Chain A
Amino acid sequence: MEPEVFINTVFKDQQPERKKLWLDKTLQQEIKKILGHELGVLRVRYWRYEKRTAWILDEIGKELPITVGIVVNASGIEQIKVLIFRETRGWEIRYPFFTDQFTGAKLEAGNNLDKRIDGISGATLSVGAVERLARLALLFHRHSEYPVSE
């Protein structure tokens, strides 16, 4: 699914605002702890309508970036969708049996998810990438104007 189609599907008839989140030094450090490396950009764009935000984020599984769309609302993660999968292995992460596990997940201490996510045999690196992006989207949402209720 193309990222623009994902955003249109998520917000349907609503007109989300396009916002920018600047990543200051403190936030960059938190990002590095989650990803294990720098994000490589100084700001990210997101879409917001009322208390929902949507994020399009990339993370490398083994060698190539996986593009994931993540919607966060006041209760945590509302939806995760793998939009572009470029790796040759680990494509099973696109299926709802995996992505549905993230629904309702929030960040707890140490920026970890408060839910256990079951992995997929043979897709360990891709699973890890999506999990990191889920934590990142929750962190970004926390720094946006409508944070998840703690």
Chain B
Amino acid sequence: MKLDKYQLLHRLTGFSVVIFVLLLAVTGIFINHSDQLGLDNKYIKSDWLLDWYDIGPAVPPVSYRSGNDWISIIDSRIYFNDREIQAHGEFLSGMVEAGNLYVVAFHDFLLLLSKEGRIIEKISGADGIPGTIMNIGRVNNDTFIIATETGNYINGADIGNWQQKPVMTSEWSTPDKLPPAYMDKIMALYRGRGLSIERVLLDIHSGRFIGKWSIVILDIIAVLIIFSAISGMWMWYKKKKLLAELE
């Protein structure tokens, strides 16, 4: 093959990979400085990107109501009515009123919330919770009851000592259907923190962003880049040789 044909081929491969080389270089720089730029804590808002990644909860949200207020869990994130609160939990067991507070039960801890949804306190196993909390119910205005595998225990909003009692309430907290307006809002909040910019950059950089064909496409691009680099060096050598012969 003549040199001018190599030049044409080199030019074509060069142009065809230039976008990918720039993409790799730019995403590479951002990934290198991801910590400084806080890209793992900045989240994608675009709906089509979130849909592309199929961002959504692993299991459907679970909600409980007490009075006019709602508590919901999506994966381990907790929502009071339509806003997220600064707490993590695994298994939500219910919510009841006690005094001027809400007591929210998880399997292994309680959250005391003000009526406005502010967290007053987290009560963990170290505070003497007598077992895994399966349910929570209201006994009277100031007292609540929890059902555990070791029995039922009552306490007040000040969380003193637990007293074992037989079942004495019919007001057990039960899961309920969250109003659609709240559901839409908390799902938007959940999805809004489901996909970090860093993850998208890593996926673009590695090629995973375009799915199952990414490996084949990246292989082709890699071959083109290798060809472009070798043909460039070969042409430079050939031209140098020709010039030497002419001189």
Q: Which residues of A contact B (CB under 8 A)?
A: 2-4, 6-7, 18, 20, 38, 40-45, 47, 56, 58, 62, 64-65, 67
Contact = CB atoms under 8 A, between A and B. Distances in A.
A18 B160 CA distance: 9
Given A40-B86, A40-B87, A45 B120 contact: no
Contacts of B128: 4
B124 interface: yes
A38 B85 CA distance: 12
Given A40-B86, A65-B88, A2 B125 contact: yes
Most buried by B among A41, A44, A64: A41
User: What is the size category of the interface that chain B forms with chain A?
Assistant: 10 to 19
Contacts of A64: 76, 88
Contacts of B40: 62
Contact of B122 (A41, A47, A62): A41
A3 B121 contact: no
Contacts, number: 41
A3 B87 CA distance: 18
B130 to A, nearest CB: 10
A38 B120 CA distance: 13
B126 interface: yes
Given A40-B86, A65-B88, A45 B125 contact: no
Contacts of A47: 126
A3 B126 contact: yes
Contacts of A38: 86
Interface string B63-88: 00000000000001000000001111
A56 B121 contact: no
Contacts of A41: 119-122
Contact of A43 (B88, B121, B124, B125): B121
Contact of B126 (A6, A43, A65): A6
10 contacts: A4-B126, A4-B128, A20-B121, A38-B86, A42-B114, A43-B121, A45-B121, A56-B126, A64-B76, A65-B88
Interface string B103-118: 0000000000010001
B123 interface: yes
A3 B120 contact: no
A45 B109 CA distance: 13
Interface in B39-82: 40, 76
B127 interface: yes
Contacts of A44: 121
A19 B241 CA distance: 88
Q: What are the nearest 9 A-B pairs in CB distance?
A: A40-B86, A3-B126, A4-B125, A4-B126, A41-B119, A42-B120, A7-B126, A43-B121, A56-B126
Contacts of B123: 45
Contacts of B76: 64
A113 B124 CA distance: 27
Interface in B147-206: none
A42 B121 contact: yes
A18 B120 contact: no
Nearest to A64: B88
Contacts of B87: 40
A42 B119 contact: yes
A67 B124 CA distance: 11
A3 B108 CA distance: 11
A19 B190 CA distance: 35
Nearest to B120: A42
B98 to A, nearest CB: 16
Nearest to A124: B35
A3 B118 contact: no
